[in-house]
Structure 1
Amino acid sequence: MKLSMGPVLFFWQREAVYQFYRELAEQPVDVIYLGEAVCSKRRELKTQDWIDLGRELAADGKQVVLSSLALIEAESELKTLRRLCDNGDLWLEANDMGAVQMLSERKLPFVSGSAINVYNARSLQALYRRGMRRWVMPVELSGETLAAILTDAQALGFADQIETEVFSYGHLPLAYSARCFSARARNLPKDNCQFVCLEYPQGMPLASQEDQSVFTINGIQTMSGQVYNLLPEVDEMKRIGVDLVRLSPRPEAMAEVIAQYRARIDGTDDGIAAIPADAVNGYWYKSAGLVNTQR
């Protein structure tokens, strides 16, 4: 089983991004996803910067995958997508069907991101026939559903030709909108957002009237209010055929999280994995997403 690091979903200063990846290059992570997957207005790093950074990390022995936007609305965003598809070296994570179409036309292998709705083996097979060689399970699906999909894929005869990846740590990316909620919270229009996301490197927390953490606002993206953590479920993921466990970047304590997951994957920990009391794992157990289910 491999350990992957997803793209940075929050808006960080340029130097913070480079510092994160300088440190990550020394960490026991097998696969690194790079790029802007949320909002095209976030331009601390340009498209070529991401490609160059990816080539540097690949030279350090990491498998690098570039990530595309999950919501494409403008010709300029299509132009960026074409540049990513034509980078010549690195795989692309397709986060919308426009990217799937471009990659399929070019006969390039790709990763299907969690923003692509794959809820059964037939959908997975359709993507496989278009060039998909790895898929990330939609975050709202359960372990039981995943096992059923993989069993059906085996019966259809293509399961051994693809890799399965599960989002296992971080704020869950739940939904996308044409509106920017971070700008709206500051009474700013989207076209003049003043890049307020930079002030919230872990997103903007949103609580209910009962002060329960419900969501995290991240520009046009709505995320879970609490951190999803499937560390205790790694052994079960191995059993049902998961190939990669994905961590999502946060600005603090990622080295510790990487070490915990690496030890769990390699079987070098004490065999007892508990998640923090303020973490959640409900979706994996077909429960409400904000539930912490210790089993």
Structure 2
Amino acid sequence: MNAISLKLSLGPVLFFWSREDILRFYAEAADWPLDTIYLGEVVCGRRQQMRGQDWISLAADLAAAGREVVLSCQALIEGESDLKRVRKLVDNGELAIEANDLGAVRMAREKRLPFVAGPHLNVYNADTLAVMQMLGAFRWLPPVEMSRDTLAGVLAEAERQQLAVETEVFAWGRLPLALSSRCFTARHYNLNKDDCQFRCLEHPDGMRLATRDSQNFLTINGIQTLSDGCQALLPHLDDMQKIGVRRVRISPQWQGTDAVVHAFGRLLREPGHSRQLLPELARQAPGELVDGYWRGQAGIRPLEIQDAHS
């Protein structure tokens, strides 16, 4: 089979890791087969072990190593301090940003800075995508719950409108589902949000939440709610390319991200090996492998490895 021409990106770290762990992680990632690396704090403004200038300096180092680097902005802007952090990234003067809030879109437009329309902007149709392109977007990520068939329809209409915005799909990792002004991790420890004691540091892959029937259901990550299951779209890479997707995203996890990146890289070079790779990756994943949303079903529906194909 011919190689798949999708590009591979590493999304921003969604969890709260120490500065030392962040720097060590990206020092390793610099040698992985990636086309693009996203950097920045997307979830919580209190997570400041890495300041804006730290992210910008790290981005410059990775760009010098030959990677496209994008600075990811916070998704829930709650006050002036959050806005200042976004401005700091927008004012870097060179690197594109990933906008996850319309405030970041406005700032990027004012600076004439190209941006990636992140999944939190909730772009569901080609007309909205056309607006994003007009504002300066050169790439977009569909919302994580968008199905394959819905995305195919959006991309067909985007082609009819002659839009030139590249499509990137969230292809691996716990799915970022929602954000709240309340910190669920602090609440778990009976702490106030403003005195959370940074308990998220104790949960580098988030806190798993089960139903009363003891079924793993969601993951708590500070103010963010994610899926418990791990999105795994390896069997669908060839089909993604056929409908117009040009890039796939791997979301970092505490352990095993390198194995995931190399597995995706192998499948892009040598399609047809998902049956062999998925069982091993299932052992690396932070939760059960799922692909329900992509198939137009409940997101919690598990990937059936025995039926997987490329």
Question: 1:170 and 1:232 mapped to 2: Cα distance?
Answer: 15
- Give unmatched runs, 5+ long, in structure 2: 1-5
Tell me, yes or no, if structure 1 residue 90 matches structure 2 residue 95. Answer: yes
Partner of 1:191: 194
Shift of 1:176: 0.2
1:40–1:77 Cα contact (<8 Å) kept:
yes
Q: 1:52 aligns with which of 57, 81, 93?
A: 57
Q: Describe the SS at the equivalent of 1:214.
A: strand
**Which of 10, 14, 21 is equivalent to 2:15?**
10
Deviation, structure 1 residue 268: 5.6
Which of 235, 240, 246 in structure 1 is aligned with 2:238?
Answer: 235
8 Å contact kept, 2:15–2:200: yes
Q: TM-score, normalised by structure 2?
A: 0.92
Measure, in 2, the Cα distance between the counterparts of 1:138 and 1:129: 20
1:33 maps to which of 38, 41, 46: 38
Structure 1 residue 75: Cα displacement:
0.5
Instruction: Give structure 1 stretches of 5+ with no counterpart.
Output: none
Q: Who is 2:294 aligned against?
A: 284
Check conservation: 1:7, 1:34, Cα contact below 8 A.
Answer: yes
8 Å contact kept, 1:263–1:269 = no
- Which whole-Å CA distance do the structure 1 matches of 2:274 and 2:255 have between them? 25
- Listed as ranges, the matches of 1:180-219 within 5 Å are 180-219=183-222
Q: Offset at 1:271?
A: 5.8
| 1:244 alignment partner in structure 2 | 247
SS of the equivalent of 2:262 reads helix
**Alignment-derived partner of residue 146 in structure 2:** 141
Whether contact under 8 Å (2:232, 2:303) holds in the other structure is no
CA deviation vs aligned residue, 1:84-108 (integer Å, no higher than 9, x gap): 1110111100001111111112222
One-letter code aligned to 1:11: F
Cα deviations across residues 116-148 of structure 1 (Å, max 9, x unaligned)?
111110010010111000001110100111110
Partner of 1:224: 227
What SS is found at the alignment partner of 1:3?
A: strand
Aligned residues: 293
TM-score (norm: length of structure 1): 0.97
Secondary structure of the residue aligned to 1:285 is coil
- Quote the sequence identity (%): 49
Tell me: CA distance 1:239–1:71, structure 2 relative to 1, closer, same or farther (3 Å): same
